[in-house]
Chain A
Amino acid sequence: MNKFYESSEIKRIVREFIIRNFAYGLNNSFHLRDDESLMDAGIIDSTGVIEIISFIESEFDVFIALDEVLPENIQSIESISQFIGKKLRKVAG
């Protein structure tokens, strides 16, 4: 059974993952905006997209279908968090 997450906790986990794995090279990476496009900012590339998907699946114990791997779902910390929230709500029924 999936653990329950508050939205704020999801965002915190996602932010930590992004900064730890991708944004460490930025000056003041902690100022990375939630709505900042990770691709446009040059923080993630195509391999990073796949790593994000793997992270979401393993961290939150959800399955992501191929047709869900869309820019709108993974382009920013905010959109990733919302995508995870939707997935978890769907699983919880």
Chain B
Amino acid sequence: MAIPYTLEFEKPLAEIDAALDALERDPAAGEATPDRAPAIAELKKTQRDTLKKIYNNLTPWETVRVARHPDRPLFRDYIRRIVKDFVELHGDRRFGDDPAIVTGFGRIGSHKCLLVGHHKGKDTNEKLACHFGCAHPEGYRKAMLKMRLAEKYSLPIVTFVDTPGAYPGLGAEQRGQAEAIAVNMRDMSTLKTPILSIVIGEGGSGGALGIAVADRVAMLEHAYYSVISPEGCSAILWKEANPKNNAEAATALCLTAKDNKRFGIVDTIIKEPVGGAHRDPDKTATSIERWIVDQLAELTRLKPESLPPKRYERFRALGKVGEPRRSSTS
């Protein structure tokens, strides 16, 4: 079963797939040719090994490509798999309803939660409606409105981050894109209810952080989190966005889950199935669900008032600086 879309670094896999196909589809295969079975088994083993080898050694740029894989599971795919009794809530009560951010009540394990997440869209129409996961101010405001409800009803908040960035457009600017994101960051820091965030694909800058000021932050193994896209970065600093420069920028930006964990920006890396989340969405969903349930078991035991101060300290500590002499703070 070949995956229809193949990234260029998966080329060896495509070749094995083709060889397997040829063997299995050989008209003579139906006849008694028992000697073919070992060859097929051998190829399948090679396929597994190659897949593992490729995905264990992804470069940062390749990671970005996997994070954007067209078959990668999206927020709604995880809702279907993880959340019971999902009730979607629409609208920001001010301007409209942005499909690029989905919000709603639902149950995860035994916990009633509020879910918030970027949604990129599956088919072409949905993708266009969602602006490929680039939210408008009304999306961020919808998210904040519902998160305030969650605080009011003592529901933990779980956010799924998957956006190339907030939408750069005329209407977005006119309606205060920057203000919407800023207010979300400010107000999320004060919510007296547990907040979890999981970067499931693209963690694109302020557009990602606008729903990710959380008590605990996790990243899927092949997701990325960065201040700017590698293309944007290479266009500015390398003067030209081409595959070579993009790859260098991706490395320099330290955008992988491992790097972000090293800097304390994320707390946990959630392992993906061999070959990426798109090869086994069910298994990925189970891993995410387990992490959420574990964290909520801990966080819901704490006094809600104790959460904002801890959350403050978490973000307060990020970004080490050098302090050669004692600062004048008198």
Q: Do A and B come from one complex?
A: no
